[in-house]
């Protein structure tokens, strides 16, 4: 049944808004990936990851490749636009993964020549949070609440990632390769749940939390552990610091 003229116009306007939002979000994610790559910023790469997941939840771009029976040129044009968007989304997701590997697995290089006298690196183990971290966490959680009131899955993904950012980077201070491993597991489970409806959000959260406990336990067993309760868990940290100062990574 054909839509009345007014409703058809509204549907077309809604489709235009959806495409504009999708491409706008993808552009912001691309900027975040590029920023994360060149600035070696884990926060920028994390923002890109969250945006790409939110885009997938909101727009499900892979649906553009489903069989379309309509021969309406306008409908076919919309389908072509969404198919192009899906290809760009896949490319952006791959770029985000590559940037994450660079940022989390390889330490940042020296961008400026060292001063004549290199200052002693500061030894600051334990819980640590900066003003920037606090602002990023607060803004992200506010966004999770606002977007979650519209689509709860979006709020869940954002809040879950931000909470783990706080645990891994500020509380337990685990190594970047462990953060990346957790990110790969959570991304894979989230993608499967969004695309295929399995293993489900409950199982995704449960498995991710098990991996969370595993990577934190592994980090605590290392002689370099310098997170929360390091004095009780790793009393030999000071000796490790003295012996490995040149190879230390924050």
DSSP letters for 5-34: HHHHHHHHHHHHHHHHHHHHHHHHHHHHHH
What's residue 214's pLDDT?
Answer: 92
Is pTM beyond 0.75? Reply is no
Please state, in angstroms and rounded to a whole number, the distance separating the CA atoms of residues 235 and 144: 38
For the ranges 6-20, 87-101, 156-170, 231-245, the lowest mean pLDDT is seen at 6-20
What's residue 186's pLDDT?
Answer: 92
Please state, in angstroms and rounded to a whole number, the distance separating the CA atoms of residues 97 and 180: 9
* Domain map (residue ranges) of the chain: 15-108, 125-250
Please state, in angstroms and rounded to a whole number, the distance separating the CA atoms of residues 41 and 31: 12
Both tokens assigned to 241 = 């610091």
Cis omega before residue 199 (within 30°)? yes
The single-letter DSSP state of residue 227 is S
For the ranges 60-64, 93-97, 239-243, the lowest mean pLDDT is seen at 60-64
* pLDDT band with cut points at 50, 70 and 90 for residue 236: confident
What's residue 108's pLDDT?
Answer: 58
Please state, in angstroms and rounded to a whole number, the distance separating the CA atoms of residues 19 and 58: 11
What's residue 94's pLDDT?
Answer: 82
* pLDDT band with cut points at 50, 70 and 90 for residue 111: very low
- Residue-wise pLDDT tens digits, 190-212: 888 887 888 889 999 999 999 99
């Amino acid at each position: 049944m054909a839509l009345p003229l007014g409703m058809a116009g509204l549907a077309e306007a809604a489709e235009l808004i959806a495409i504009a939002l999708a491409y706008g979000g993808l552009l912001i994610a691309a900027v975040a990936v590029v920023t994360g790559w060149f600035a070696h910023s884990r926060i920028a790469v994390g923002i890109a990851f969250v945006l790409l997941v939110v885009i997938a939840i909101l727009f499900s771009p892979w649906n553009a490749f489903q069989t379309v029976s309509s021969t309406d040129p306008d409908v076919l044009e919309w389908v072509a636009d969404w198919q192009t968007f899906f290809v760009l989304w896949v490319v952006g997701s791959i770029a985000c993964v590559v940037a994450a590997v660079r940022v989390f697995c390889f330490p940042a290089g020296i961008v400026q020549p060292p001063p004549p006298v290199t200052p002693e690196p500061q030894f600051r183990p334990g819980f640590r949070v900066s003003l920037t971290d606090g602002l990023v966490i607060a803004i992200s959680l506010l966004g999770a609440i606002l977007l979650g009131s519209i689509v709860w899955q979006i709020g869940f993904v954002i809040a879950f990632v931000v909470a783990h950012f706080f645990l891994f980077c500020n509380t337990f201070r685990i190594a970047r390769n462990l953060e990346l491993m957790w990110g790969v597991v959570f991304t894979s489970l989230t993608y499967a749940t969004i695309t295929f409806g399995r293993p489900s959000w409950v199982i995704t959260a449960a498995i991710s939390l098990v991996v969370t406990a595993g990577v934190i336990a592994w980090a605590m067993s290392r002689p370099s552990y310098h997170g929360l309760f390091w004095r009780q868990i790793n009393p030999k940290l000071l000796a490790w610091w003295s012996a490995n100062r040149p190879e230390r990574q924050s």
